[in-house]
Chain A
Amino acid sequence: MTVITPEAISEAARPTKHHPRRQMTAGSVAAQLFMLAMAILWITPIAFALYVSLRPEDETSRLGYVSIAHTLTFKNFTNAWTQSNMWHFFMNSVWITLPAVIITLVLASGVAFVVSRLNLKFNIAFLILFTAGNLLPQQVIITPLYRLYLQVHLPHAISSSGLLYDSRLGLIAINVSFQLGFCVFVLSNYMKTIPGDIDEAALVDGASLFMRYWRIVLPLCRPAMAALATLLTTWIYNDFFWAITLISTGNKRPITSALANLQGQFVSNQNMIAAAALMAAIPTLVVYILLQKQFIAGLALGSSKG
């Protein structure tokens, strides 16, 4: 601090993270109190649900949810798990989410490569088409889509309903098509930041276009792909609307939309419904704990263009 450089001035002027103690002004105390209150408010619904789900229904119906627990038990969780065949619904989700995420990323990276690395005439028009498609409210397209799904016949080996409607394939198809737009947008922005000379050099070496896409550009996009994979997995797993409208057979539904059925099945036992709902959230909670950074990075990538 003895030599006054511009950096030193800015260092002194900035309310830095390095000297938290010097910052204990009225403002920062108020901020601290505000955030504390908000954090408590925000955690309450989840903590409360967990508390209720750990208590037997006959006890809470007598004392209310807001009472001291006499018994804490995992009974609601185990009962919900066995009585509702939750494993089956989990696997439905896995077999929809996993293929959908992989297909979306592969397809979107191909489009992004073409529109961002080759100077085609209509690349901006393509980008706009994909991006805008992802922004439409689902309800705009659901009515014709529903009719379309009833028109398309599939072999019974692929869909037990014989139609695209009420089939796993149909649900994967709409999730892929709908999420493509967002991924194309993010990946093409990302690919534009990779220097053009990299594939120029490969071109000189005689690499084919596919090689440049698959071996050179795609590996460089790994961070963006990881972030998108995290986002997509969460979004598609959490999807409710497509599954409710396009899957009519209860036991074909993925777990998130199956919660609506469980709600009817366990209507007299809210504690068990809460337990089921919390179990359904376990995969997203794993993502939350392990991959929160990736998730946030994905959102940041999607919003940082302008």
Chain B
Amino acid sequence: MSSTSTEVRTRPAATKRRRRRSVRRLTGRDKVVVALLLGIPLLLDLIFVWLPALATVLLSFTKWTGVGGIHLKSCTTAGTLPGLPQPGCVYGVQNYSQAFNSAITPDFWPAVRHNMLWLLVFIVIATPLGMLFAVILDRGIRGSRVYQSILFLPVMLSLALIGIIWELIYAPNLGLINTVIGHNKNSNLIDWLGNPRLNLWAVLAEATWRQAGYVMVLYLAGLKAVDPALKEAAEIDGANSWQTFWRVVFPVLRPINVVILVVTVIESLRAFDLVYITGGGNPVKGLELLSVLVTQNIVGETQRIGFGSTLGVVLLVISLVPISIFLYQVFRREEKK
């Protein structure tokens, strides 16, 4: 086996040609197998992920309560019959102008702001913190393994559980924080999760608690893969550990950095569970998020499918930025081959 592999390595062009030929050598039965192996998952992915993604874009230009079908007629000509449920109609960009108009949709811009703040906190606090944990642990200080296990624990827990256990920390009369700082009397209570000025920050502390451990693990994996000779060379050249990290190690970690960027942006757009648990399923002032607005339009009596889809498109457009960066980085090299 080893002799063949060296032989192959010396003749890459030949292998490639041979590999190409191997496709043609597939028997009829093999082709059926390929079609099944690829076809079934592809069908699932298309039906359950890409069809809805496309439908979100199309539906965002309609007005539909989910009752009756959708007619390809403009809503202005459809007319209203009182008492009858309206079928869906083409609404143009009306959903978008309604969403962006804060007189009609007061929650939209606060939601965008909160999602952005979520992202900002993840970038400015959670990610550097996780990175710092990883760098310290990677140097192998005493107790590294214990520290790593503790910091990693929240990553294993569901966000629903995290939301529930943090309520004990934030509880106004009985909770940990108010008791410690002496604000647990009825006269001076701090309502961490209810006060619209505070609650987003309180929930962000919960989210950071989990996210930092996640970032830490990803960076640890990246740091393990860095060639130690690089660091040694820098240290021999007289660089201190700060310089070594930022000038030598960090640039090598570029692929991991892109992964973390993607994870960070996508996670802050997906943010939902903590807020849902905190509000007990009800909207909470101060905790408006795009994801929460989307779901509000499909549950309850009045479904606004078109409007909900519009908010989905907003999320889609934002998320396409990091997704494209990631895909470009990963598949650029393969395209060249």
Contact = CB atoms under 8 A, between A and B. Distances in A.
The answer to whether A and B belong to the same complex is: yes
Contacts of A48: 165, 168-169, 176
Contacts of B150: 39, 42-43
A144 interface: yes
A146 B299 CA distance: 10
Interface residues of B, number: 130
Interface stretch (B73-81, B99-107, B156-164, B189-197): B156-164
A223 interface: no
Contact of A45 (B165, B235, B269, B297): B165
Contacts of A91: none
A28 B235 CA distance: 17
B171 interface: yes
Contacts of B281: 260, 264
Contacts of B44: 107, 173, 176-177, 180
Contacts of B232: 10, 13-14
Given A138-B270, A142-B298, A145-B52, A306 B255 contact: yes
Interface in B1-50: 1, 4-5, 8, 15, 18-20, 22-23, 25-27, 29-30, 33-34, 36-38, 40-42, 44-45, 47-50
Nearest to A127: B331
A143 B309 contact: yes
Interface stretch (A29-37, A69-77, A155-163): A29-37
Summarize B's interface: helix, strand, loop or mixed: helix
B164 A306 contact: no
A304 interface: yes
B294 interface: yes
Given A107-B40, A143-B305, A144-B51, A35 B295 contact: no
Contacts of B149: 292
Given A208-B29, A299-B218, A135 B153 contact: no
B286 interface: no
Given A143-B309, A238-B159, A306 B48 contact: no
Q: A107, A139, A174, A237: which has the most chain B beta carbons within 10 Å?
A: A139
Given A64-B184, A130-B45, A277-B161, A46 B169 contact: no
Nearest to B310: A143
Interface residues of A, number: 116
B41 A111 contact: yes
B229 A10 contact: yes
B120 interface: no
B22 A245 contact: no
Contacts, number: 357
Contacts of B51: 144, 148
B209 interface: yes
B153 A288 contact: yes
B19 A257 contact: no
Q: A65, A176, A305: which has the most chain B beta carbons within 10 Å?
A: A65
Contacts of B295: 139, 142, 244-245
A181 interface: yes
29 contacts: A14-B235, A17-B140, A35-B133, A35-B141, A43-B153, A45-B169, A48-B176, A65-B176, A107-B40, A120-B34, A131-B327, A132-B327, A139-B295, A143-B298, A143-B312, A144-B55, A148-B51, A184-B41, A197-B8, A208-B33, A209-B34, A240-B159, A241-B270, A263-B164, A270-B167, A274-B165, A277-B161, A277-B164, A296-B152
Given A127-B331, A132-B327, A238-B159, 19 more contacts: A10-B228, A13-B236, A38-B147, A45-B209, A49-B165, A65-B179, A108-B41, A119-B20, A137-B316, A140-B312, A140-B319, A144-B53, A144-B55, A177-B45, A208-B27, A209-B33, A245-B298, A260-B276, A281-B156
